[in-house]
Amino acid sequence: MRRSWRLLSAWVAVALGGAMGVGGALMVSRWVSAPLATLVGGGVAAVSAIAAGRTRQWLERQLELRRELPDRITLHGRAGGLPRVRDITDPVVLGVHPAETRVDNPRQTAASGSTPYIPRDVDDELRDAVRREGLIVVVGESTAGKSRAAFEAIRALTPDHLLAVPSGRESLAAVVARLSESRRAILWLDDLERFLGPAGLTPAAVANLTARTGHSIILVATMRTSEYERFTARAEPTLDDQARSAWRASRDVLRSAHIIVMHRLWSATELADAATFADDSRIARALQQAKTFGIAETLAAGPELLRDWRNAWAAGSHPRGAALVAAAVDCRRAGLDDPVPRHMLLDLHHHYLLTHGGHALRPEPVDDAWMWALRRVHGASSLLIPAGASDEDQRYLAFDYLIDQPDHGPIPPDTWNLLIARADQSQALTVAWEAFWHVRTAFHAAIESGAANDVFARSSAMSDHGDHAHAIQLLADALNHEDAQGCDPEHRRHLRHQIAYCQLLSGRIDEAEATFRELLAEVERTLPPNDEYLQVMRHNLASCIRHRGDLPEALALFRRILADRERQLGPEAMNTLATRGAIAGIIAEVGDAAEAVRQSRLILADEERALGKDHTNTLFTRHSLANYLAKSGDPAAAIDVLQALLPDLIRALGADHPEVLDARWHLARYHGQHGDRLRAARQFQEVLSDRERIQGAGDQGLELARQELQDFLAEPA
């Protein structure tokens, strides 16, 4: 059975609403009757004193924030204040990747700064957005040219605006307080994900800065595609109330933004424009590789740095430095947005070094490893980017070009566990959620340790192990408690949604479908038509229709959802791929297993590239592919797929996970179909024994399994 649809329960587990930020205060006035007038009059002095005290506290806080400002920004103007946009002559200081300085012609002086700006297809849209003001987010892969295009837009249109570049999330309060006093300013947020989350940017803060008449405050941000999809194509089930509110705020910030998408590979028009600058040897060299790499990524020495990292694993080269870089890359892949402390990378790197050969690689001394990892290549980027607030606070980020590569191996379980154990609460929750999609055992460990411990996390863990009844009871108790206390309507809606989803998983299809229809009608009245949560609701409703047997209606619904998701999320977003998988499953059920195999191979290739080979959706697609191969009459091919899949499933989910037990059972079945009856009988017995041990002898599915085994043994040899 196709299982990837069930993972969309992650969307169910989060209340998706706004969060109150700066300016969220509410003033209430009260009318009093005449007999109380004297009492009220007598209290005027006291009220005035209180008001004066609050005003004094506010003024003192503003002065404190103003004093803090020089330490909270990365660029300074005169007297330590904010510079103006026109004062910035080198965009590298804003996060633009430095261009290589190597030149082939010795008579040509190597430029120390950036190359000439080559017009991009998004320039007109980007500049129109700057003119309209508000929040602008440029989204794309690393080294697509996002920051450079954004800089050129504000330099052309807003040269006299003040420019504020906060040093991190913790600096936003001081910077926003300063900008609230300005008439014209740019708030520059490169890598926007670093400024979202607890104490980060909120919709209210954006509105307060941008909605004032007579003021021009523009927020310009960049964001990598994979980070953007964390808030648009996925939700976060493993959050407590505080973290959920921060996630809501982050998602709503992006909903309010003007999103501009840039592509890594350049269009024909952009390449033609680049050719007019070919007298710069760096651009000429980049044009020679334009079919493989984007111009911007070549200028930033991205491919060369990637080669250096891969070559450094060789014995006697820089294997320890390569291990430090690998640890930093996996920290970002695991969802840790903040710069990683030096000591944590040192602790993590030992595993990477050991798995590549350990002492046999003759690793260099630690100081040499740091020096190599921090060295710029041809004046461009380095593999590790220093990101600490001071020399005493040594923290690093991996060069983001490395993170976006599609051929990474699985993040080691030790890395997941260490990050969950050592990160602060909000970051640990984020890492635990990422672990859900890659190493489910680390997700469960996070719940057992208390790092992820709200009702959605615990119910998701129960359902993941097949205990849907207890998950439903846990959610129902939470819903009753919230009803008694008067809860957030959106939170209540998501509790109902999660209950319905668990009912669907447990086979209570009619109840689940009725709830999904009610909830869909509610959100269609309140959410914008392109909101992904609507598609999540429709996807789960289509799953109910599929499982009650109306395959034509379910197929039509899934195809409509797919068209919307391809348009709104893109063809390789996780939820888009899941809908494609559901369609392939129905096609197999109606009897066209060969077409299901064809579609599943395409889905698998896209998931491996977009999500990673270790993503649980990718693993489940491999399982589905094996089932479709067997159904098409090729049990030998199905056996090959499952035998290769099982070690990966066990690593990701644990040996006792229901999906692993299903895969082992199917492997036994296909061995029987292929004629190896002795092996099939032995494997059937082993899986039955494990199921009784794990799930209990009274589990409903065991009776069906016993019957299948009896029927198999009764067949003539």
Tens digits of per-residue pLDDT, 137-175?
999 888 888 999 999 999 999 999 999 888 888 888 888
For residue 549, count CB atoms less than 10 angstroms from its CB and return exposed for 0-12, middle for 13-18, buried for 19 or more.
exposed
Q: Within 10 Å of residue 550's Cβ, how many Cβ atoms?
A: 14
| Helices and strands (DSSP H and E) totals, the chain | 33, 8
Question: What is d(CA 132, CA 208) in angstroms, rounded to the nearest whole number?
Answer: 16
Summarize pLDDT for 357-389 with one digit per residue, the tens. Answer: 999 999 999 999 999 999 887 666 789 988 876
| H-helix or E-strand spanning residue 644 | helix 635-653
The pLDDT of residue 300? 73
Query: How far is 117 from 274, CA to CA, in rounded Å?
Result: 9
Q: What is the mean pLDDT of residues 254-281?
A: 87
Which pLDDT belongs to residue 683? 93
Q: Once rounded to an integer, what is the mean pLDDT over residues 387-404?
A: 83
Start-to-end CA span in the chain (Å): 28
Residue 51: how many other CB atoms lie within 10 Å: 10
361, amino acid identity = L
Taking CA 313 as the corner, what is the angle to CA 368 and CA 395, rounded to the nearest 5 degrees?
A: 50
- 631-638 mean pLDDT: 96
Q: How confident is the model at residue 79 (pLDDT cuts 50, 70, 90)?
A: low
Question: Would you state the structure tokens that stand for residue 259, as one six-digit string?
Answer: 């999103």
Residue 283, judged by CB atoms within 10 A of its CB (0-12, 13-18, 19+), counts as buried
AA identity, residue 624: S
Cα gap 19→199, rounded to integer Å? 11
What's 263's DSSP letter?
A: -
Classify burial at 591, counting beta carbons within 10 Å of its beta carbon; exposed 0-12, middle 13-18, buried 19 or more.
exposed
Residues in Cβ contact with 273 at an 8 Å cutoff, skipping those fewer than 6 apart: 118, 119
Over residues 113-132, the pLDDT tens digits come to: 578 888 999 999 999 999 99
Q: Are strands 340-341 and 258-261 parallel, antiparallel or unpaired?
A: unpaired
The DSSP annotation for 434-488 comes to HHHTT-HHHHHHHHHHTSS-SHHHHHHHHHHTT-HHHHHHHHHHHHHHHHHHT--
pLDDT at site 427: 78
Whose tokens are 């001071």? That residue is: 390
The phi, psi pair for 198, rounded to 5°, reads -55, 130
Give the model's confidence band at 250: pLDDT under 50 very low, under 70 low, under 90 confident, else very high: confident
In whole numbers, what is the pLDDT of the chain averaged over residues?
A: 82
> Mean pLDDT across the stretch 434-443?
91
Neighbouring CB atoms inside 10 A of 47's CB total 10
pTM of the model: 0.71
Which has the minimum average pLDDT: 28-42, 75-89, 178-192?
28-42
Q: Give the pLDDT confidence score for residue 70 in this predicted structure.
A: 63
Tokens of 373: 């990892």
Amino acid at 540: N
Residue 227 and residue 335: Cα distance in Å, rounded?
Answer: 9
Q: Return the pLDDT at 520.
A: 95
Residue of 327, 323, 322, 321 whose CA lies nearest to 340: 327
Residue 380: predicted pLDDT: 65
Q: Which helix (H) or strand (E) holds 415?
A: helix 413-422
pLDDT greater at residue 284 or residue 577: 577
Phi, psi (rounded to 5 degrees) for 681? -60, -45
- Report d(CA 380, CA 296) in Å as an integer: 12
Torsion of CA 222, 224, 226, 229, to 10 degrees: 20
Contact between 136 and 221 under an 8 Å Cβ cutoff? The reply is yes
- So what's the pLDDT on residue 129? 94
Contact status, residue 331 vs residue 343, Cβ threshold 8 Å: no
d(CA 156, CA 653): 52
CA–CA separation, 554 and 543 (whole Å)? 7
Render pLDDT for 467-519 as a digit per residue (tens, 0 to 9): 999 999 999 998 988 777 766 777 888 899 999 999 999 999 999 999 999 99
**3-class state of residue 138 by DSSP:** strand
Phi, psi for residue 527 in degrees, rounded to 5: -100, 155
Flag the least confident range among 265-279, 478-492, 581-595.
478-492
